[in-house]
Structure 1
Amino acid sequence: MRRYYYSVYANYYAYLANYHQVEELDRKYKNLSDLYRDSVFMLLPPGTDREIIFADKLIFSHKPEEAIQKLKEQLRTNKDTKRRVYLYYVLSDAYAMCNDSISQMYYLAQTAIQDLHMSVREYAALQKLGWQLYKQGNLERAYNYLRCSMNDAFDCNSRLRFAEIKDYSIVVNKAYIDMQNQKYVTMRRTVIVTVMLVVVMLASIIMLVYWMKKLQRMKRLLAENNEQLTITNHNLAITGKIKEAHIGRYLSHCVEYIEKLDQYRRSLVKLAMASKIEELFKTLRSEKFIKEERENFYKEFDRSFLDLFPNFVNDFNQLLPEDQRTYPKPDELLNTELRVFTLIRLGVTETANIAYFLGYSLSTVYNYRSRFRLKALHGKDLFEQEVMAL
């Protein structure tokens, strides 16, 4: 009972020293606690408990290295779980005085593990470990350990442990809340930035799709233009060949016509030299030569025009009602009516020029033009424009 009595007073004055704010009283209570610890030490038989009290006294006397040596000797020999818990805890205090925070946290962790195995809820190791972790910057684990210590102290109604944890918990909780707030702010910024990036990405995708479709349309249009250009080039090449052929035909026709005129001149000269005056005058008065040449010219013109516009007759008649359409006779390429509009298709629009070219009277050409304009399916004002577009 005396040993128990001294032990209670040693702990009593140790707690008073820890929780007192006056430095002079702090020294006083620590000295009293040490005196009672000596009394306990004198009454204890040799063994682990006596070595633990002695190590505690060495720590109080600022000799932590000696305390560590003695405590580790006991750890090697003593396998009792309850005694090892005290050895771990006092070792943590010794390393704390040596400023070895890693070893201190190790032995605090060992103490907390043993407390857990023995279902002890009124403990001091876990809260000290949490505080050390806080000082090391491991705020998440520090908060969890102190919260667990607070809950256990509250559940087992340990007011002393609750008071010990309270100071630590206030600081750690504030730091933890600040960290969570910072995480929330960071997360909110991240969400905002992510949303903005998603919006930008969606806009980029929309623009990309838009430009891809536009590019496809441009490619398709370019392909169509290239195809049309190829057709145009082909038509131009054909047109060039046709022009070459018609130029050659025109030159041949001119040479042929010059030869005919020369033959005609020679025949007239022969008649004059033979003094066949009546026959000469008869020949000069005859229109046979002119008529034949005009017919040959019309045939050559018809052939050349239809080489350039092979579908002109059918296309021209599509502009007229069925009962008003005109077609050349079987032995003709074009008739007189069609020739008027072939010249309009070639850009000769003046009535006088058409009449002069075809050898018709102005009234004849005018009547043809007026008659077909009145028959046109799409109106007389558009008829000749449609003819020029054939």
Structure 2
Amino acid sequence: MIYWKLYLFLYSAHRNIIVMNKFALLFLLMIGVSSVFASDDTRKLYDELDALLLRRDEFCRAKEARIDSIKNLKDGVNGYSGLFGLYNDVFLEYYTYRSDSAFYYLSLAEKMAVRTSVEKYIDMCKINRSLLLATTGYFSQSLEVLNEIERDRLDPSLMFDYYSAYEWVYSVWSEYSADDTFAVDFRNKEMLYNDSILQVLEPTSKEFMYWSGELNARKGNQYEAQKFYEKALEGLRVDTRLYACVTCGLAFAYKKQGNMKDYEKFLIMSAISDITCPLKENLSMQELAMFLYQSPEPDLVRANKYINYSMEDAMFYNNRLRMLEIAKKFPPIVNTYQNKWIDKNRILVRSIYFISFLGGLLVLAMLYIFRQLKLLRAQRSIVTDMNMQLKELNSELLKTNRTREEYVSLFIELCAAYIDKLNKYQDLVKRKVKAKQVDDLLKIANSSKMSDSDARQFFVNFDTAFLTLYPNFVSEFNMLLREGEEIAPTKGEILNTELRIYALVRLGIKDSSRIATLLFYSPQTIYNYRTMVKNKARNREEFEEQVKKVCTIV
């Protein structure tokens, strides 16, 4: 809840700043101020980053489609081992994308690993759970899981992942810790496991070069770290996590050497990689925002935009550590941005008022009389047209009201007639019962001639009245059906049973039991008719709601 409220605050602030920024940009144009804050190459990288940010949803959809394609392989997988592999693959996709889903599929993989009784699978799940717990800020729980693994019997193919998990726990814990004493101990253990990672990697691999760069950077050998990072970067694809990690490490190596130009360049490259992968567990974007905010010529528009994107990613992933980091960085950026432009906006507003005043006087002096005469003629013409339309509408309304009144009276008379018939029928039944003329009573009850005649008369009255109110009902109703499935009354009919059912639906009577009573059918029969017609509809799910909207103009 705290993170959600924080996000709402940040989002609101961002909206306010966008409005202020528009005024500020207009002011800059008016006074002819321009500035160049980076080289051409850096500007191109920023343009590429901004363009990719507009396509974030596209990359996320592609990622989710790839994950769905893996999930869809489940039906073709046999055995617990196969299911373990599938669930583990889905977990790896979600690990840097969405923590909740990663936890879910990791749990499924753990169940399959236990069923296979394969120790390698069980240990692999423990390593993955440790990584995920550390990433989401549960450091001590992460270590507890790792400590359950017996290193002496660990499968050799998992040694890299095992040491990487320990390294990652202490890395993020030292980053999170505000206590210098604990942070130093965590960093020492971080370097210890970094060194262990190098012992199990192939010395010619990209991963070996990257982790060598990490170890040298942590020891303070920034130039050596730079060289290893550069070797690791050769030939890497931009849409890989290793590319994002290497470029981020390279950026910090340049920063610690005082080369802020290349620090900025490689931060942008790392942020580009985060978007294209896409990685929601990332660092580069918020670092870039802080760099733009703290640079000698700050770009506060981009800084504000990037810090907001970072917060969105952290909340999407549900990363407590990143949200806390961003929460500390966000207020200074927002406050500085507001303070920077508030005076310029005030000058801009005053300038606009002054220019508008002078322009208004000039225009009014030259065109006042001409414009007023022209406006009066135009307004007179508009009023005349509106009066004609109003008369036509009033006429249509009066006609509609008269029609409705006529049919309300008709239905009241019908109701009164049926009530009178019912009363007479009750009197007849009472007399027959008192006279013990049960046979005559049964003959009357079994006779359907009167009720059939009344029903036909009722249908004729109803059909005539309904089509008078809604003359286009049949044609508009058939537009909702598929081509070739239209329903039309037979010769001698005004409406048939299907059309009467949906005429009642149009009048707001939805319940099949009520419709059955009005049309002298059983509820099941009405239900069957409705189902049959729905099957002919273009949009079966929304068909009856669409029927209620036909003939909206009477």
TM-score by length of 2: 0.35
| TM-score (normalizing by structure 1) | 0.48
Which of structures 1 and 2 has the bigger CA Rg?
1
